[in-house]
């Protein structure tokens, strides 16, 4: 899977830019605040209509302008696709593949997949469960449009139920709809757990060998999917999980009403990470944290390849400079095969033996 060309209008600090890329390594270099991360962000947007740092699409539109346009030429499944995103201030974004309007963001994943590793990914190990759920969700959404649709429905249900629980004492009639929301949340939640369970199982196979290679065999990595306590087998069919979720909801009904919080469901899931049997979140060193986060992302890349038959595009934002020479060499060795974008501040990092280099200066690509 290759992004052969990209065109941007009014995206972040890019007024207008167009570039053609190498199917191998593309080094994006330039000083701070010139647009390196913005470029990688544009590429990820074309794979999922989401980015790692924008909460709302309007943040991606250039200051003082009311729209932005992104267009990517993608070679995948032995075909060529033109993916486009039109962002509008105050209106819903529109997505197109070969000129046909897409109904959901999840459909982009059928044409184009990306895996991004950036400095903020250290929070994948260090921060709370929400970061790790986000990691699972972003990856599964790209691979399974059905999951993306279920996740979006679950989020809406969760918001509605949260409002009911928050306001029911002032407005008791709200409780009339609680059972309906609970039922649907259990149905949709069961789908999320089922997909997450399968995804983590594959990560459990793929990630530890990468971490072991990375650390010269000194570190063993353990991963475990933590979900609702009544769920006995997260990989079971959603129907079986549904019954178990209902049971958990019923047991927590009183607690939810008195705490006015939604306590039951996969919105509290976590992926625990251990290094040498100890919680990575609590005990990992800076280097181990970075290595574990990168191992997870590289495992994800391999999983995408197993699934789609093609390497997803790998985006490494400003991360190689943080690694020592041996770990840098390991990463560069490990990523041969697919298309890679590497951003860095200096021109010559010895990482562009083959491929192309682009200098980014004030929102222009040279």
Partner that binds at residue 38, options ligand ATP, Mg ion, none, CB closer than 5 to 8 Å by kind: ligand ATP
Partner that binds at residue 12, options Mg ion, ligand ATP, none, CB closer than 5 to 8 Å by kind: ligand ATP
Partner that binds at residue 33, options ligand ATP, Mg ion, none, CB closer than 5 to 8 Å by kind: ligand ATP
Pairing of strands 356-361, 25-29: parallel
Residue 233 Cβ, how far from Mg ion at the closest point, in Å?
42
Residue 69 Cβ, how far from Mg ion at the closest point, in Å?
22
Name which of 63 and 232 has its Cβ closer to ligand ATP.
63
Which residue lies nearest Mg ion, judged by its C-beta?
37
DSSP-assigned letters across all residues of 18-49 = EEE--SSEEEEE-STTSSHHHHHHHHHHHHHS
Query: Rounded to an integer, what distance in angstroms lies between the CA atom of residue 72 and that of residue 43?
Result: 8
Name which of 35 and 238 has its Cβ closer to Mg ion.
35
Residue 14 Cβ, how far from ligand ATP at the closest point, in Å?
8
Q: Alpha carbon of 61 to those of 89, 99, 116, 261: distances in Å?
A: 8, 22, 21, 35
37 binds Mg ion (CB under 5 A): yes
Residue 15 Cβ, how far from ligand ATP at the closest point, in Å?
9
Residue 53 Cβ, how far from Mg ion at the closest point, in Å?
10
Q: What backbone torsions phi and psi does residue 50 show, to the nearest 5 degrees?
A: -140, 160
Partner that binds at residue 125, options Mg ion, ligand ATP, none, CB closer than 5 to 8 Å by kind: none
Query: Rounded to an integer, what distance in angstroms lies between the CA atom of residue 21 and that of residue 338?
Result: 13
Among the residue ranges 30-38, 42-50, 225-233, 301-309, the one whose residues contact Mg ion (CB under 5 A): 30-38
Name which of 127 and 345 has its Cβ closer to ligand ATP.
345
Name which of 223 and 344 has its Cβ closer to ligand ATP.
344
Q: Closest by alpha carbon to 215, among 99, 121, 331? A: 331
The strands making up 114-117's β-sheet, listed across from edge to edge, are 114-117, 313-317, 340-344, 25-29, 356-361, 364-365
Residue 168 Cβ, how far from ligand ATP at the closest point, in Å?
40
Name which of 105 and 122 has its Cβ closer to Mg ion.
122
Among the residue ranges 31-39, 81-89, 206-214, 248-256, the one whose residues contact Mg ion (CB under 5 A): 31-39
Name which of 36 and 252 has its Cβ closer to Mg ion.
36
Partner that binds at residue 272, options ligand ATP, Mg ion, none, CB closer than 5 to 8 Å by kind: none
Q: List the beta bridge partners of residue 100.
A: 97
Residue that has been written with the tokens 């939640």 in this structure: 189
Partner that binds at residue 62, options Mg ion, ligand ATP, none, CB closer than 5 to 8 Å by kind: ligand ATP
Residues forming the site for ligand ATP (CB under 6 A): 12-13, 30, 32-38, 59, 61-63, 318, 345, 360
295 binds Mg ion (CB under 5 A): no
Asked if residue 266 lies in contact with residue 193, where contact means CB atoms within 8 angstroms, the answer is yes
Helix, strand or coil for residue 340? strand
Query: Rounded to an integer, what distance in angstroms lies between the CA atom of residue 132 and that of residue 80?
Result: 33
Residues 12-33, buried b or exposed e (16+ Cβ, 10 A)?
Answer: bbbeebebebbbbbbbbbbeee
Give residues in contact with Mg ion (CB under 5 A).
36-37
């Amino acid at each position: 899977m290759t992004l052969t060309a990209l065109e941007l209008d009014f995206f972040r600090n890019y007024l207008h830019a167009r570039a053609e890329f190498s199917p191998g390594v593309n080094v994006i270099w330039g000083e701070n605040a010139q647009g390196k991360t913005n470029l990688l962000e544009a590429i990820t947007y074309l794979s999922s209509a989401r980015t790692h740092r924008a909460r709302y699409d309007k943040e991606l539109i250039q200051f003082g302008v009311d729209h932005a346009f992104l267009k990517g030429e993608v070679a995948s499944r032995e075909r060529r696709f033109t993916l486009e995103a039109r962002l509008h201030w105050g209106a819903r974004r529109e997505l197109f593949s070969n000129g046909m309007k897409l109904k959901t963001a999840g459909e982009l994943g059928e044409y184009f997949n990306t895996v991004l590793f950036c400095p903020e990914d250290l929070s994948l190990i260090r921060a709370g469960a929400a970061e790790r759920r986000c990691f699972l969700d972003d990856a599964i959404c790209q691979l399974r449009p059905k999951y993306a649709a279920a996740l979006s429905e679950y989020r809406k249900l969760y918001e509605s139920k949260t409002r009911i629980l928050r306001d029911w004492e002032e407005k008791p009639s709200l409780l009339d709809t609680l059972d309906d929301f609970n039922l649907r949340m259990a149905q949709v939640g069961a789908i999320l757990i089922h997909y997450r369970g399968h995804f983590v199982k594959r990560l459990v196979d793929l990630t530890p060998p990468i971490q072991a290679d990375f650390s010269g065999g000194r570190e063993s990595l353990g991963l475990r999917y933590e979900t609702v306590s009544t769920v006995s087998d997260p990989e079971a069919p959603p129907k079986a999980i549904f019954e178990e979720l209902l049971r958990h909801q019923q047991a927590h009904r009183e607690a939810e009403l008195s705490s006015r919080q939604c306590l039951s469901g996969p919105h509290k899931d976590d992926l625990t990470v251990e290094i040498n049997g100890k919680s990575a979140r609590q005990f990992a060193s800076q280097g181990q944290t970075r290595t574990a986060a990168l191992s997870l992302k590289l495992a994800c890349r391999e999983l995408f390849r197993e699934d789609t038959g093609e390497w997803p595009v790998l985006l490494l934002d400003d991360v190689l400079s943080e690694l020592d020479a041996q770990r840098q060499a390991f990463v560069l060795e490990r990523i041969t095969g697919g298309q890679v974008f590497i951003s860095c501040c200096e021109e010559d990092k010895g990482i562009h033996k083959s491929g192309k280099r682009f200098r980014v200066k004030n929102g222009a690509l040279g």
